[in-house]
Amino acid sequence: MAKPDTLQGALDLLVLKILSRRAPLHGYAIMSAVEEISGEVLRVEEGSLYPALHRMEEAGLIRAAWITKGNGRRARVYELTARGRKQLASEEARWTAVTGAVQRVLKLA
Amino acid sequence: MSWMRRFTNLFRQGRLNDELDEELASHIDEAIERGRSAEEARRAFGAELRHREQSRDIKLLPWLDALAADVVFGWRQLKKHRAVSAAAILSLALAMGATTSAFRLVDAVLLRTLPVADPARLFFLATTYIDGDGSPDYRDDFDYPTFRRHRKTVGDRADLMVVGMSARQDAAFGSSDETEKLYQQYVSGNVFGVFGLQPALGRLLAPHDDLTPGAHPVAVLSYDYWTRRFGRDTKVIGSKFRLGSARYEIVGVAPKGFTGTEPGAVTDIFIPSMMNAQAINSPGWSWFRIWLRPKTGVTPEQIRQSLQAVFSHEHQERVKSFPADTPKLTIDAYLSESVVLYPAASGASDIQKNYRRPLLILAVLVVLVLLIACTNVANLLTARAAARAREMALRVAIGAGRWRLIQLVVVESAMMAVIASTAGALFAGWSAPLVVSMLAPPEDPVRLILDADWRVLGFGIALTVTVTFLFGSTPALRASAVKPISALKGGEDPHSRFRLIHSLIAAQVAFCVLVLFVAALFLATFERLLNRPLGFSHQRALLVETEIRGKEQPPEIWAQVADHLRQTPGVESVALSGWALLTGNRWVCSVVVAGRAAEARSPYFLDVSPGFFETMQIGWIDGRDFRPGDVPPRTKEQNLPLAGVGIVNEAFARIYFDGQNPVGRSVEARQNKNSSAPLEIVGYVRDASYGSVREPIRPTVYVPIGDRANGTFVVRTAGDPLALAPILRREVSRARSEFRVHNINPQSALVRRHMIRERLLATLSFFFGGVALVLAGIGLYGVLNYSVIQRRREIGIRMALGARPAHVVRRVATEVFGMVCVGSLIGLAGGLACERFVESLLFEVKATDSGIVMMPILTLGAAAVLAALRPAIRAARIDPAQTLRSE
CA–chain centroid gap for B568, Å, is 42
Nearest residue to B160 via CA among B148, B172, B142: B148
Tell me the DSSP string of B801-845: TT--HHHHHHHHHHHHHHHHHHHHHHHHHHHHHTHHHHGGG-SS-
Residue B55's pLDDT is what? 58
Q: Chain B residues with CB-CB distance to A under 8 A? A: 2, 19, 22-24, 26-27, 29-31, 34, 44-46, 50-51, 54-55, 58-59
Residues of A in contact with B51 (CB under 8 A): 46-47, 50-51
User: Measured between CA atoms, how close is A56 to chain B, in angstroms?
Assistant: 10
Inform me whether the pLDDT recorded for B618 exceeds 60. yes
Supply the pLDDT for residue B56. 56
Q: Which of A76, A77, A83 has the highest number of chain B CBs within 10 A, making it the mutation to test binding with B?
A: A76
Whether a cis peptide bond, with omega within 30° of 0, leads into B294 is no
- Answer yes or no: is pLDDT of B668 > 60: yes
B634-635/B641-642 β-pairing: antiparallel
Residues B593-626 as b or e (16 or more Cβ within 10 Å = b): beeeebbeebbbbbbbbbbbbebbbbeeeebebb
Structural contact between residues B212 and B224, judged by C-beta atoms closer than 8 angstroms: no
Whole-number pLDDT of residue B620 = 92
| Minimal Cβ distance to A47: which of B23, B30, B46 | B46
Model pLDDT, residue B185: 93
* B59 contact residues in A (CB cutoff 8 A): 54, 58
Q: Over the range B33-48, which residues count as b (16 or more CB within 10 Å of their CB) and which as e?
A: eeeeeeeebbebbeee
CA dist., res. B677 & res. B634, Å (int): 6
> In the prediction, which pLDDT does B201 show?
92
Alpha-carbon gap, residue B847 to B350, rounded angstroms: 28
In this predicted model, which residue has the larger pLDDT, A66 or B884?
A66
Position B491 confidence tier, pLDDT thresholds 50, 70, 90: low
Cβ neighbours of residue A50 closer than 8 Å, sequence gap 6 or more = A27, B23, B24, B27, B51, B54, B55
Judge whether A29 is closer than 8 Å to chain B, CB to CB.
Answer: yes
**pLDDT tier for residue B203 given thresholds of 50, 70 and 90:** very high
CB contact under 8 A, B23 and A27: yes
**Average pLDDT of the residues in B333-362:** 89
Residue B402: its pLDDT value, please? 73
Q: What angle do CA B52, B57, B61 make, to 5 degrees?
A: 145
Helix (H) or strand (E) holding B76: helix B62-80
Percent of chain B with pLDDT over 90: 29
Confidence of residue A3 (pLDDT cuts 50, 70, 90): very low
Mean pLDDT across B312-320: 86
Pick from A46, A51, A60: which is nearest to B2 by CB?
A: A60
Task: Name which of B865, B861, B876, B886 is nearest B788 in CA terms.
Answer: B876
Residue A100 contacts B, CB cutoff 8 Å:
no
User: Is A46's CB within 8 Å of B27's CB?
Assistant: yes
Contacts of A59 in chain B (CB under 8 A): 2
Please, are residues B230 and B83 in contact by the beta-carbon 8 Å criterion?
A: no
Given an 8 Å threshold on Cβ–Cβ distance, is A54 in contact with B58?
yes
A45 near B CB under 8 A: yes
B30–A75: do the CB atoms touch at under 8 Å? yes
- Please tell me which residue of chain A has the smallest CA distance to B54: A51
Q: Which has more pLDDT, B839 or B772?
A: B772
- Give the rounded distance of the alpha carbon of B424 from its chain centre: 19
Closest CA to A74 of B390, B641, B25: B25
Contact B26 A76 (CB under 8 A): yes
Contact yes or no for A45 and B44 at CB 8 A: yes
Residues in A touching B45 (Cβ below 8 Å): 46-47
Amino acid, single-letter form, for residue B220: V
Lowest mean pLDDT among A52-61, B218-227, B519-528: A52-61
Contacts for B607 with CB less than 8 Å, ≥ 6 apart: B577, B578, B587, B632, B702, B703, B704, B705, B706, B708
Name every chain A residue with its beta carbon within 8 A of the beta carbon of B23: 27, 50, 75-76
pLDDT given at position B737: 86
Higher-confidence residue of B133 and B163: namely B163
pTM over 0.80: no
Q: What is the per-residue DSSP string for B433-471?
A: HHHHHTSS-TTS--B------HHHHHHHHHHHHHHHHHH
Given this model, what pLDDT does residue B547 score?
85
Cα atoms in the 13 Å half-sphere on the side-chain side of B254: 30
- Range of weakest confidence among A42-46, B110-114, B292-296, B671-675: B671-675
- Name which of A76-90, A93-107, B167-181, B210-224 the model is least confident about: B167-181
Q: Residues with Cβ < 8 Å from B631, sequence gap 6 or more? A: B642, B644, B645, B704, B706
Q: Return the minimum-mean-pLDDT range out of A52-61, B59-68, B558-567.
A: B59-68
Q: Could you give the percent of chain B with pLDDT greater than 70?
A: 92
Please say if the pLDDT value at position B613 is more than 90. Answer: yes
Looking at the complex, report in whole angstroms how far the Cα of residue B23 sits from the nearest Cα belonging to chain A. 6
Highest mean pLDDT among A5-9, B41-45, B563-567, B783-787: B563-567
For residue A71, list chain B residues with Cβ-Cβ distance below 8 A: 29
For residues B179 and A19, which has the higher predicted lDDT (pLDDT)?
Answer: A19
pLDDT in tens, B249-274: 999 999 998 988 988 888 999 999 99
How many angstroms separate the CA atoms of B284 and B742, rounded?
Answer: 24
- Residue B47 confidence class, pLDDT cut points 50, 70, 90: low
Residue B698 predicted with pLDDT over 50: yes
**Which residue is closest to B53 within chain A, CA to CA?**
A51
Chain A residues within an 8 Å CB radius of B19: 76
Q: Residue B3 pLDDT > 70, yes or no?
A: no
Q: Look at residue B5 in the predicted model and tell me its pLDDT.
A: 58
The residue ranking higher by pLDDT, B455 or B557, is B557
Interface probe with B: pick from A12, A36, A46, most Cβ of B within 10 Å: A46
- Name the 3-class secondary structure at B185: strand
The rounded distance, in Å, linking the Cα atoms of B581 and B691 is 7
Q: Nearest by CB to A50, which of B22, B29, B55?
A: B55
A76 touches chain B (CB under 8 A): yes
* CA gap B59, B6 in Å, rounded: 6
The rounded distance, in Å, linking the Cα atoms of A58 and A45 is: 20
**Which chain A residues are closer than 8 Å to B60 by Cβ?**
none
Average pLDDT over residues B432-454: 78
Taking CB atoms and an 8 Å limit, are A50 and B29 in contact across chains? Answer: no
Q: Write down the mean pLDDT value for chain B.
A: 84
Range among B70-84, B466-480, B862-876 with highest mean pLDDT value: B862-876
In angstroms, the CA B161 to CA B192 distance is: 10
State the pLDDT confidence band at B332, using cuts at 50, 70 and 90. Answer: confident
Number of helices (H), then strands (E), in chain A:
4, 3
Instruction: Return d(Cα B636, Cα B672) in angstroms, integer.
Output: 12
* Mean pLDDT on B445-469: 81
How confident is residue B738, by pLDDT bands cut at 50, 70 and 90? confident
Gap from A34 CA to chain B (nearest CA, Å): 15
Q: Strand, coil or helix: what is B117? A: coil
Cβ(B334)–Cβ(B481) below 8 Å:
no
**Highest mean pLDDT: which range of B33-42, B481-490, B504-513:** B504-513
A26 in contact with chain B, both atoms CB, cutoff 8 A: yes
- For chain A, first and last CA: distance in Å? 36
- Region B296-314: mean pLDDT is 92
Q: Indicate the SS3 state at residue B265.
A: coil
pLDDT range class, residue B319, cuts 50, 70, 90: confident
CB B230 within 8 A of CB B159: no
Question: Quick one: which of B677, B676, B650 has its CA closest to B662?
Answer: B650
Q: Is the pLDDT of residue B645 over 70?
A: yes
Question: B667 — alpha (psi -120 to 50), left (phi > 0) or beta?
Answer: beta
The 10s digit of each residue's pLDDT in B786-828 is 778 777 778 888 888 888 888 888 877 787 788 889 999 999 8
Chain A residues lying within 8 Å of B30, measured CB to CB: 26, 28-29, 75
B51 in Cβ contact with A50 (< 8 Å): yes
Chain A with chain B: Cβ pairs closer than 8 A: 55
**pLDDT band, residue B485 (cuts 50/70/90):** low
Q: Which of A49, A54, A61 to mutate to test the interface with B (most CBs of B within 10 A)?
A: A54
What is the reported pLDDT for B495? 53
Amino acid at site B188: S
Average pLDDT over residues B7-20: 63
Q: How confident is the model at residue B162 (pLDDT cuts 50, 70, 90)?
A: very high
Inform me whether the pLDDT recorded for B520 exceeds 50: yes
CB contact under 8 A, B29 and A73: yes
